[in-house]
Structure 1
């Protein structure tokens, strides 16, 4: 009886946790409601937050008395924003906004493959940013995102 009660209590708690988790991806209906400029601003904000987290991790790691709790919080923050950046790249741009082009449409296909390469770089650089505090990845994220922004809007 006690095991059954523990099972149902655990089930209720896990169900509650699953229902309260936020998702950041746009719908895949497609709904036709897109905020491209907003997504670009969000990614730039995530990059800035990842950079600040890296700087704080480095700063806190050099103090005489190391506050591991704060370091862990900054690492979690850095990883969370890198994940959100990856989610926008994957769910919003790769799944919904970048349309597959036929190789016979030479110019359109070239633009398509260029955008895919840039978005793949974003995913890899975000992954690398989770693995380290090397600010070179911030520069690569910013530069690649800027290049993608121009490629996306045909500027």
Structure 2
């Protein structure tokens, strides 16, 4: 990797880190009171959309990585931030919604469910740390492994 590319990526990472420290978002978890309105399948689909966004971000980060013009650098930073945001949304959905409300210690398959939900968090963390296809695939696979627990309900 060239010195200028390393400097560019470091600058992008520092920009993202600085931005993430300045932006404090409240958790958007539904529903920590027993309202009874749940659509677990929709949440899984939403996480898959977030993973697709992470994938597109990685593709565009890769395309922009060697470019040194200002516009490309601007777009590179924006795609890195986008990747971070969508990976974090997945982590929040798992931790703030599924692990707090849908995975219960008294379930017969509690250990298996806990491990699969944890795998999504770890995969999302790795997708934040890396910009490669393997990390994206691991994230999508981990989310898809949850789908059988949360089938679509026909009303």
Q: TM-score, normalised by structure 2?
A: 0.75
For residue 130 of structure 1, what is the aligned residue in structure 2?
128
TM-aligned CA deviation for residue 65 of structure 1: 3.6
2:110, 2:40 → 1: CA distance? 17
TM-aligned CA deviation for residue 95 of structure 1: 0.3
1:115, 1:137 → 2: CA distance? 21
TM-aligned CA deviation for residue 58 of structure 1: 0.6
**Count of residue pairs the alignment pairs up:** 128
What RMSD in Å do the two structures reach over aligned CA positions? 1.9
2:150, 2:38 → 1: CA distance? 14
Are 2:37 and 1:49 aligned?
Answer: no
Instruction: Point out which structure has higher relative CO (alpha carbons under 8 A, 6+ apart).
Output: 2
Task: Show structure 1 runs of 4+ deviating over 4 A.
Answer: none
Are 2:36 and 1:38 aligned?
Answer: no
Q: Secondary structure at the match of 2:145?
A: helix
Report 1:67-106 matches (<5 A). 67-101=72-106
**Which sections of structure 1, spanning at least 5 residues, go unmatched?**
1-16, 102-107
Whether the aligned pair in 1 keeps the contact of 2:58 and 2:131 (CA below 8 Å) is: yes
TM-aligned CA deviation for residue 31 of structure 1: 1.4
**Which sections of structure 2, spanning at least 5 residues, go unmatched?**
1-22
Whether the aligned pair in 1 keeps the contact of 2:40 and 2:150 (CA below 8 Å) is: no
Q: TM-score, normalised by structure 1?
A: 0.75
1:57, 1:30 → 2: CA distance? 41
- When structure 1 is superposed on structure 2, of 59-68 and 41-50 the one drifting more is 59-68
Whether the aligned pair in 2 keeps the contact of 1:115 and 1:152 (CA below 8 Å) is: no
Rg: which structure is higher?
1
